Amino acid sequence: MKVSLEVNGRTCEADVEPRKTLLDTLREDLKLVGSHAGCEHGVCGACTVLIDGEPARACLMFAVQADGYEITTIEGLAPAPGELGVVQDAFCETHGLQCGYCTPGMILTAHALLNRNAEPSREDIVDAISGNICRCTGYGQIVEAVELAAERLRKANVPRNERGAHPNAPVNDPAAEHDAPQEGVLEAAEADTPHGGRW
Amino acid sequence: MKPAPFDYVRPASLREACGILAADEDARIIAGGQTLVPMLAMRLARPSRLVDIARLDELRGIRAEPAVLTIGAATRQVEIERNDVARRALPLLAKALPWVGHPPTRSRGTVGGSIAHADPSAEIPLVAVTLGAEIEIANASGDSTTPADEFIIGPMLTAVMPGDCVRAIRFPVWSHPRIGTGFHEVSARQSDFAFVAAAAQVALDENGGCIEAALGLGGVGDRAIRIDVSALLGTAPSTAEAADIVRAVLADLEVGSDLHVSDSYRRRVAVTLAVRALEDAFAEAAGKVPQ
């Protein structure tokens, strides 16, 4: 069957069997291998992507079900090639990853949480990532990473909504045409944080 | 972990979906797919075709009527979790939903899907049975309505016949001003399948006397059960008798053991959680100002 998917703001065509999951289609047909195949039956969360801004398991959806939704993968979170998004950067800063296998799913789940909740409590974060299994870190530094990202996003003054910022597009508040920085958000936030966010 | 081949159809109406299901006994409905797709991946299910009802508008959304809130079968769990009308009308469902899977599964999983799957430990069937909800079933030859505790027959077994599709769930809405709810669950990890779950909803009159009470248990038998707690009515809120009532019900019930927990553990936990759920419900109701 032919499917047309909206992935990271681009329309992608693929010809797939009905039984091919969205995950396998992203990885094999669209060559977006950032979404990881872990358990392939909905337990581990490594394949988490955003469907219309909500985290969802790409292994529990067939590609033929996914047309018309806005799909965001980890590749869609970076503001520009070679750069990291705020949440990605926070995971690096706090050592919120070791082997990295769960990281794309963790980051997309955290990204969706922070789009809905600017000041999540520790419990909110733990609940949000409860469906993502990490076998390295013990979760402590992952929770720290999300807390740091939340703090930086609050300071960055970037408008957010439930569906999230459109991937690959700078989001500017039209009401603050001259004030909102196009670039340098991270540097500004870092300057506000003692020791560059490390504690 | 790759499903066996199947055909995929996305009918334009519920009537068309029922027609396809009636014509092909091996066809299965898919909505959120959060339980069905793992079963396909492990090849525990090998349907000839999947009938996708997730986008049928006639199966989505909520409808508030006097004393009833109807939830369309394909309404996603997260939509109810965040819907203020549903949360106010069905506080017990609102309290149970955070226990259903994880945020990424609730974002796709549907209310009707959980009912139709009828897992004995699932939270949404437990709330439906506890409150005495009714299941609306569509069929090519017409609609019918079945009480939740008759709809669910056993583990993953329901009264659905070939050509049937769950259309909606009709939850009773209590009109009393002082309603309290309680929900407790024990599982291996937060949001895993419940070993035992208990749900309670009570209503108090202006003097603090109990005028309505509902109690249900999940995970202990082969389906969710509603426990008759009418003995608590007309008295001051007290859970002293509740433990004995639950113990008496469990004595007649076949309670399963598995590699996680024994049947005696399940019985003990069921009594404790039922009492806790009732205590929470009474405390919450008592905290509300009489009108």
CB burial readout A39-63, b (16+ within 10 A) else e: bbbbbbbbbbbbbebbbbbbbbbbb
**CA angle (A136 as vertex; A132, A137 as ends), nearest 5:** 80
Inter-chain residue contact B8 with A1, CB threshold 8 Å: yes
Using a pLDDT cut of 70, give the percent of chain A over it: 79
Shortest Cα distance from B278 to chain A (angstroms)? 25
CATH number of A2-76: 3.10.20.30
Inter-chain residue contact B104 with A1, CB threshold 8 Å: no
What is the C-alpha separation between A42 and A61, in angstroms, rounded?
10
**The pLDDT of residue B235:** 80
CATH class of A86-197: mainly alpha
pLDDT greater than 60 at residue A196 = no
What is the C-alpha separation between A100 and A102, in angstroms, rounded?
6
Shortest Cα distance from B173 to chain A (angstroms)? 29
**The pLDDT of residue A118:** 93
pLDDT greater than 70 at residue A184 = no
Structural tokens at position B62: 């909520």
Residue B238 · residue B255 · CB < 8 Å:
no
Inter-chain residue contact B108 with A17, CB threshold 8 Å: no
Residue B8 · residue A21 · CB < 8 Å:
no
Sort residue A95 into left (φ over 0), alpha (ψ -120 to 50) or beta. Answer: left
pLDDT greater than 80 at residue A180 = no
Pick the CATH number of B7-52 from 3.30.365.10, 3.40.640.10, 3.30.43.10, 3.10.105.10: 3.30.43.10
Per-residue pLDDT reduced to its tens digit, A76-135: 998 888 899 999 999 999 999 999 999 999 999 999 999 999 999 999 999 999 999 999
What is the C-alpha separation between B225 and A108, in angstroms, rounded?
38
With beta carbons under 8 A apart, name residues in chain B contacting A55: 103-104, 107
What number of other Cβ atoms are within 10 A of residue A14's Cβ? 18
Q: Does A145 touch chain B (CB under 8 A)?
A: no
Higher pLDDT, B189 or A189: B189
**The pLDDT of residue A158:** 67
Shortest Cα distance from A120 to chain B (angstroms)? 15
ipTM surpassing 0.90 = yes
Q: Searching chain B, which residue's CA lies closest to the CA of residue A67?
A: B55
Q: Which helix (H) or strand (E) holds A54?
A: strand A54-57
User: 15-44 in A: which are within 8 Å (CB) of B?
Assistant: 17-19, 21, 39-43
Closest CB from B3, B42, B190 relative to A19: B3
Inter-chain residue contact B34 with A60, CB threshold 8 Å: yes
Closest CB from A17, A41, A55 relative to B104: A55
Alpha helices by DSSP H, chain B: 14-23, 36-41, 77-81, 84-89, 91-96, 103-106, 111-117, 123-131, 148-151, 242-251, 263-286
Residue B96 · residue B123 · CB < 8 Å:
yes
What is the C-alpha separation between A104 and A127, in angstroms, rounded?
17
**The pLDDT of residue B202:** 97
Q: Does A1 touch chain B (CB under 8 A)?
A: yes
**The pLDDT of residue A167:** 44
Stretch(es) of chain B classified as CATH 3.30.465.10: 57-172
**The pLDDT of residue B253:** 92
Q: Searching chain B, which residue's CA lies closest to the CA of residue A23?
A: B2
Shortest Cα distance from A55 to chain B (angstroms)? 5
Q: Searching chain A, which residue's CA lies closest to the CA of residue B82?
A: A116
pLDDT greater than 50 at residue A198 = no
Stretch(es) of chain A classified as CATH 1.10.150.120: 86-197
Residues 6+ apart with CB under 8 A from B110: B31, B32, B54, B73, B74, B75, B76, B77
Shortest Cα distance from A197 to chain B (angstroms)? 28
With beta carbons under 8 A apart, name residues in chain B contacting A17: 5
Stretch(es) of chain A classified as CATH 3.10.20.30: 2-76
Q: Which helix (H) or strand (E) holds B158?
A: strand B157-158
Q: Searching chain A, which residue's CA lies closest to the CA of residue B49?
A: A18
**CA angle (A159 as vertex; A153, A163 as ends), nearest 5:** 95
Inter-chain residue contact B103 with A55, CB threshold 8 Å: yes
Higher pLDDT, B96 or A191: B96
Question: Per CATH, is B179-286 categorized as 3.30.360.10?
Answer: no
**The pLDDT of residue A197:** 41
Residues 6+ apart with CB under 8 A from B240: none
pLDDT band at A165 (very low <50, low <70, confident <90, very high): low
Per-residue pLDDT reduced to its tens digit, A53-81: 999 999 999 999 999 999 999 999 988 88
Residue B142, Cβ density class (10 Å: 0-12 exposed, 13-18 middle, ≥19 buried): exposed
- Token pair 């109701």 in the structure block, residue: B285
Q: Which helix (H) or strand (E) holds A191?
A: helix A185-192
Inter-chain residue contact B41 with A1, CB threshold 8 Å: no
Helix and strand counts by DSSP (H, E) for chain B: 11, 14
Question: Which residues of chain B are under the pLDDT cut of 70?
Answer: 291
Q: Which helix (H) or strand (E) holds A125?
A: helix A122-128
Stretch(es) of chain B classified as CATH 3.30.43.10: 7-52
Inter-chain residue contact B104 with A64, CB threshold 8 Å: no
Residue A79 · residue A165 · CB < 8 Å:
no
Inter-chain residue contact A61 with B7, CB threshold 8 Å: no
With beta carbons under 8 A apart, name residues in chain A contacting B191: 130-131
Which amino acid makes up residue B209?
A: G
Q: 3-class DSSP state for residue A20?
A: coil
Q: 3-class DSSP state for residue A104?
A: helix
What number of other Cβ atoms are within 10 A of residue A191's Cβ? 10
Handedness of CA B188, B193, B194, B198 (dihedral sign): positive
Residue A124 · residue A54 · CB < 8 Å:
no
Closest CB from B38, B41, B107 relative to A56: B107
Mean pLDDT of A20-42: 97
Residue B32 · residue B54 · CB < 8 Å:
yes
**The pLDDT of residue A170:** 46
CB burial readout B214-248, b (16+ within 10 A) else e: bbbbbbbbbbbbbbebeebeeeebebeebeebbee
CB burial readout A115-145, b (16+ within 10 A) else e: bbeeebeeeebebbbbbbbbeebebebbbbb
pLDDT band at A11 (very low <50, low <70, confident <90, very high): very high
CA separation, residue B178 to residues B87, B89, B204, B242, B287 (Å): 15, 13, 6, 20, 8
**The pLDDT of residue B255:** 92
Question: Per CATH, is B57-172 categorized as 3.30.465.10?
Answer: yes
Inter-chain residue contact B8 with A62, CB threshold 8 Å: yes
Inter-chain residue contact A61 with B108, CB threshold 8 Å: yes
Inter-chain residue contact B107 with A40, CB threshold 8 Å: no
